[in-house]
Amino acid sequence: MSEPGDYNAQIVAEFRASHGKVGGNFEGAPLLLLHNTGARTGRKFVKPMMYLRDGERYLVFASKGGAPDNPAWFHNLVANPDAEIEVGDRTVPVRAEVLTGEERDRKYAEQAALYPGFADYQEKTDRVIPVVALVPTGPAR
């Protein structure tokens, strides 16, 4: 079995080679690459993830497959909210904003209706899965 980093590296390579499209578990799903900075290390990371378009915003979901703790990328974005995303062939500077309350609940329900796996993830954990809006801060390049 491959390491998670190897799996992500394969998805990133496929994403970039095919202009934002990938197969396997993500085939047909909207996918972006999140570039963020480690909260403790300052290292740069690239993480493929599904998103939900919401006007100009890109919503991402810190599901971690329903694990009891939030994914590292979520902690990194809270500590360093300025990031970049790759969507298709474009790179977009963004600022992360954690959604709360009714807006968070509504957007998570919308994602779970489109992709029922997200409902399963919430069922598997006692934590409220965070929803993060990635808000463009400048022009795409």
Q: What pLDDT, on a 0 to 100 scale, did the predictor assign at position 6?
A: 77
- Is residue 104 pLDDT above 70, yes or no? yes
Distance CA 141, CA 12 (A): 18
Whether the predicted model's global pTM rises above the 0.85 cut: yes
Secondary element (H or E) of residue 36: strand 31-37
Residue 48 structural domain: 4-136
Identify the pLDDT of residue 3. Answer: 44
What average pLDDT does the segment 78-98 reach? 97
pLDDT in tens, 8-20: 888 999 999 988 8
**82 part of a folded domain:** yes
What's the pLDDT at 5? 58
CATH code assigned at 62: 2.30.110.10
Is 28 contained in some domain? Answer: yes
**b/e map 112-123, b = 16+ CB within 10 Å:** beebeebeebbe
What is the number of structural domains in the chain?
1
Distance CA 92, CA 110 (A): 24
Tens digits of residue pLDDT in 33-45: 999 999 999 999 9
How would residue 54 be classed by pLDDT, with cut points 50, 70 and 90?
very high
Residue 18 lies in a domain: yes
CB-based contacts of 105, cutoff 8 Å, min separation 6: none
- Of all residues in the chain, what percent carry a pLDDT higher than 90? 82
pLDDT tens digit sequence for 112-140 = 999 999 999 999 999 999 999 999 999 99
141 inside domain = no
User: What is the distance between the alpha carbons of residues 124 and 107, in angstroms, rounded to a whole number?
Assistant: 19
